[in-house]
Amino acid sequence: MPPQPDMHSNIAIFGDNVTARNHPDWISQSDLGPAWRTNDNFNVRWDILCATQPEHRAEQLDYIEDVARKSPGVWLNSIHFAEHGHCICPRCKELHAKSGLSWYEWRRKEITDYMAQVSERVRDRAKKKFVIGVLPDPITNYERFGVDFDDLAPLTDEFLVVMFSKNYATPWYWEMLTRNFKKLFKDVPLNIALYVIGPGDDPRETPTTSELLTVSVRMARAGVDGILYLTDKAKQMQDFQKAAVAQVDVRERLKSYGGKQGQEVLDFVTSWEKVVE
């Protein structure tokens, strides 16, 4: 989709089904098979390319800078190696051997160095806001994906953690993850993306409005700085806002949940009354 001048742009770098289809030899490799989304040895939701593929890296750098120039900012996803044990393609094996580093440290250096290049394009050249997205694993991002939060912190304006789920019925866990990331990210603002409805979803299998409001307030009291809600279409976002406004009892109950931060979320919902009129 073309970048919009009044909307931040989301770009997934290595999770790229179209490029994987066009260049099947670029797919990330492991002892448990390639990172096709059909490989159930891993939790891969897209076809994931090798994170050192030089042509893809170069093309993405130019693309990201171009998108940054045409929109207020760039939010990245899929910045890392596919999963644990990736990538053992001949190029990665050779790069690792030449580096003289341990396997984990070599992967970390590959991700950090590339993110430094991307950050330079967006922040220094295009002079736009830059947000790095990571997966919701506070402890083993390094071993699984080559991601080191302390390395990335100086390169990004804010972090985004995608916490998509088909339900948020146990908010205790989401609140805990929020506290974990808040601690690890220190002064870098934490944004969390929540799932309302995705492409082709049966609405009966998506989170309830009450769950979304509750988890939002509980993330707020745990320190989250921004919450993003995912829908496939703008109409679905309006429907969610309408449903949230209609949850008078839930909004009333949540007033006692989290002081000022929780109240900020509830004030946002109140402001939606105007949006959905």
In the complex, the residues that contact Zn ion under the rule CB under 5 A are 50, 87, 89, 92
CB of 62 to Zn ion, least distance (A): 21
CB of 146 to Zn ion, least distance (A): 11
Please tell me the distance from the alpha carbon of residue 188 to that of residue 171, in angstroms, as a whole number. Answer: 23
Q: Please, which residue, 57 or 251, has the CB nearer to Zn ion?
A: 57
Q: Please, which residue, 89 or 126, has the CB nearer to Zn ion?
A: 89
Query: How crowded is the C-beta side of 175, counted as CA atoms within 13 Å?
Result: 18
CB of 105 to Zn ion, least distance (A): 16
Residue 94 in tokens:
């050779």
Q: Please, which residue, 49 or 74, has the CB nearer to Zn ion?
A: 49
CB of 91 to Zn ion, least distance (A): 5
CB of 199 to Zn ion, least distance (A): 29
CB of 103 to Zn ion, least distance (A): 13
Q: Please, which residue, 92 or 215, has the CB nearer to Zn ion?
A: 92
Query: In the chain, which ranges are continuous DSSP H helix?
Result: 17-22, 54-70, 90-99, 103-119, 141-145, 149-152, 171-185, 209-221, 234-246, 248-254, 259-275
Listed in sequence order, the residues at least 6 apart from 30 whose beta carbon sits closer than 8 Å to its beta carbon are 41, 42, 82, 83, 85, 86, 87, 88
Neighbours of 265 (CB within 10 A): 22
State CA 155 to chain mean position distance. Answer: 16
Residue 184 in tokens:
């690890």
Tallying the residues shown for the chain, one arrives at 277
Q: Please, which residue, 89 or 193, has the CB nearer to Zn ion?
A: 89
Q: Please, which residue, 92 or 126, has the CB nearer to Zn ion?
A: 92
